[in-house]
Homo-oligomer: A and B are copies of this chain.
Amino acid sequence: MLALTAVSFLALTAVQAPAPKPVTPTSIVEGAPASAWTDIPAEDLLVMQLTGGKRVVIQLAPLFAPVHVANIRALARGNWWEGATVYRVQDNYVVQWGNNESERPLPAGVVEKPPAEYARPQAGLTVHPLGFEDPYAAKAGFASGWPVALYDDGYASLAHCYAYVGVGRGLSPDTGTGGELYAVIGHAPRHLDRNIAVVGRVIEGIEHLSSLPRGTEALGFYGQESQYVPIERITLASELPAGDRPAFQYLDSSSDSFAAYVRARANRKDDFFIRPAGGVDLCNAAVPIRKTPAS
């Protein structure tokens, strides 16, 4: 009985049974046709190699923060992050990395004071509505594979969900160059939406960041340099030899499969769930990502 408790607790897939398998978020994603998946361009993939062979892959979001994303590409190409570290881990909040307190000059092409890309016009976005209330915005939904909060002023922001990546900045009017980045490792701090440039999300290896020791200084900074976690290199996938490039796809938020996936996230009906929630919040319907299948 206790073995059953452990093994079946929170099981995400259906158990074997003669009855038809229930439709689950997992079964919908696994059954989605190839046409529902969209390739992520190699220049939108930032590969961060930590010590110990730990790889973190970040998908960039030029649709929402084009100048910051262009900066990040230029910082990577200019090898600006050489010697960078993870220097801050605040529980239930963020992991932050870069060249903290460095005076390192910015590579050519980096815009020193980017515009405040904290929201963008809704015009031009094709939004699949979440279909449930959002406590932070007038509406919530998904556009081109990204979770978006939609405001009454006609603007949309990329939401601060788990594993999403933003740009550290000082007090306004500073907007950050993109040199100092953070990833969310706790409950979505949605109050940061429209206050910071969100530039993408970790799509592989978030566990290498979220399991790091928490910093014990204020705001989770590590107190001693010996605690800093070395970053071996940060490279755009498009700069890697073709054979070494990671390749990923996201489930197109305008596909039927995506709509079915969101409905299933809101109404879990596998053998474990007794009462489907009948709703889901924006950050609990994580956009499905997969490695590009071998063709």
Please list the residues of chain A having a beta carbon within 8 angstroms of any beta carbon in chain B.
1-6, 8-12, 15, 87-94, 96, 98-103, 116, 118, 132-137, 161-163, 168-172, 174, 176, 179-180, 182, 186-195, 206-207, 210-214, 219, 221, 265-266, 268, 271-284
> How many angstroms between the C-alpha atoms of A162 and B283 in the bound complex?
14
One complex includes copies of this chain to the number of 2
> How many angstroms between the C-alpha atoms of A279 and B194 in the bound complex?
13
Are B174 and A1 in contact, CB atoms less than 8 angstroms apart? Answer: yes
Are B169 and A9 in contact, CB atoms less than 8 angstroms apart? Answer: yes
Closest to A172 in B: B274
- Chain B residues contacting A214 (CB-CB under 8 Å) are 207, 210-211
Are B190 and A9 in contact, CB atoms less than 8 angstroms apart? Answer: no
Are A207 and B168 in contact, CB atoms less than 8 angstroms apart? Answer: no
Are B211 and A280 in contact, CB atoms less than 8 angstroms apart? Answer: no
Are A101 and B171 in contact, CB atoms less than 8 angstroms apart? Answer: no
A2 CB → nearest B CB, Å? 6
A118 CB → nearest B CB, Å? 7
Q: A5-B176, A6-B101, A134-B135 are in contact. List 9 more A-B contacts (CB 8 A).
A: A5-B174, A5-B180, A9-B96, A135-B282, A162-B186, A187-B188, A191-B277, A195-B275, A281-B281
> How many angstroms between the C-alpha atoms of A161 and B281 in the bound complex?
13
Are B180 and A6 in contact, CB atoms less than 8 angstroms apart? Answer: yes
Q: A5-B168, A194-B274, A274-B118 are in contact. Are A10 and B100 (CB under 8 A)?
A: no
**Leading 5 A-B pairs by shortest Cβ distance:** A133-B133, A4-B170, A207-B214, A135-B281, A132-B135
Are B274 and A180 in contact, CB atoms less than 8 angstroms apart? Answer: no
A274 CB → nearest B CB, Å? 5
Are B277 and A190 in contact, CB atoms less than 8 angstroms apart? Answer: yes
Are B280 and A135 in contact, CB atoms less than 8 angstroms apart? Answer: yes
A195 CB → nearest B CB, Å? 5
A26 CB → nearest B CB, Å? 12
Q: Which of B176, B210, B277 contacts A193 (CB 8 A)?
A: B277
Closest to A133 in B: B133
Q: A94-B10, A171-B271, A283-B187 are in contact. Are A135 and B136 (CB under 8 A)?
A: no
A227 CB → nearest B CB, Å? 13
Q: Which of B174, B179, B195, B277 contacts A136 (CB 8 A)?
A: B277
A266 CB → nearest B CB, Å? 8
A97 CB → nearest B CB, Å? 10
Q: A187-B161, A211-B213, A284-B187 are in contact. Are A219 and B12 (CB under 8 A)?
A: yes
- Chain B residues contacting A193 (CB-CB under 8 Å) are 277
Closest to A273 in B: B195
> How many angstroms between the C-alpha atoms of A216 and B192 in the bound complex?
32
